[in-house]
Amino acid sequence: MQEAVKLVECPRDAMQGWPHQISTDNKVRYINALLNVGFDTIDFGSFVSPKAIPQMADTKDVLAALDLAGSRSALLAIIANKRGAEDAVAYDAVRYLGFPFSVSETFQQRNTNSSIEDSLQTVEQVRSLCSTRGKELVVYLSMGFGNPYGDPWSEEIVFRWAEKLASMGIGILSLADTVGLATADQVSRMTSFLVKSLPKVEIGVHLHAPPQGWQEKADAAYNAGCRRFDGAIKGIGGCPMAGNELVGNLDTERLNDYLQQKGIETGLNREALAGCALIANEIFI
């Protein structure tokens, strides 16, 4: 077996842009099933404005009903400001807080209602809060592979922000292909640079891709040294704040099969994973 990877399952990303409201009971049933699969981390919900993301308005209720006994999976919650972070760190069960830091000024305003500079201050506030409360902050480099808004973008801009965030003590950075613009060559080049230039930082990828283009991107990231992959069962998801058709996440079942065929250990229970896919078929209709 080759070096193990961390698989991060993202039911929050799958649910947040779904056109029909998913009941709290179904969210709990689904995430409880995911807790038995063996994922490193489950991105389960978000502490954000219910007006912005109505689907996530019941995150606290979902969290209260989860059965964490015996699960090795850590929970990650997305936050968009200090207030959300203060809500999230109050829960012992939440291990990670995730903050979307966009290299696109337009998208940062759309996604968190703040500027890039203001968001940088938020990152520092949340990092300090996490440090005092025994949590860890994951920063997503949103629009990491380009953006459709005409904002200045280059690989050098992404690298500068990554280096700035690393200098602030951020230990996990995830390159996010928010609207599915990345090419496999780009994923390879950018991931490789960050893995080599920031050896003390865990570099992950949160790739959005249509069903026909995911494997090339996943392969490029792995070969570039990435060992942290976000995905969602059935490839459902995307960012509703981007104002585009949801591109979709990496399909967890396909990603797991692909990695295991390469001799890479994922630690997932196939039977439990298949059971989650059946629940997903019932929920996402």
Report, as residue numbers or ranges, the catalytic residues.
Answer: 239
Rounded distance, CA 228 to CA 221, Å? 9
Rounded distance, CA 182 to CA 102, Å? 15
**Token pair for residue 24?**
């709290």
Residues linked to residue 11 through DSSP beta bridges, in sequence order: none
Residue with tokens 């995730």: 98
Question: φ and ψ at 246, to 5 degrees?
Answer: -65, 125
Beta strand residue intervals within 10-59, DSSP E: 41-47
Contact indicator for 244, 179 with CB cutoff of 8 Å: yes
Taken in order 128, 76, 9, 183, the sign of the CA dihedral is negative
| Distance, C-alpha 239 to centroid of its chain | 11
Angle separating helix axes 24-34 and 270-283, nearest 10 degrees: 160
Rounded distance, CA 68 to CA 186, Å? 38
Rounded distance, CA 285 to CA 283, Å? 6
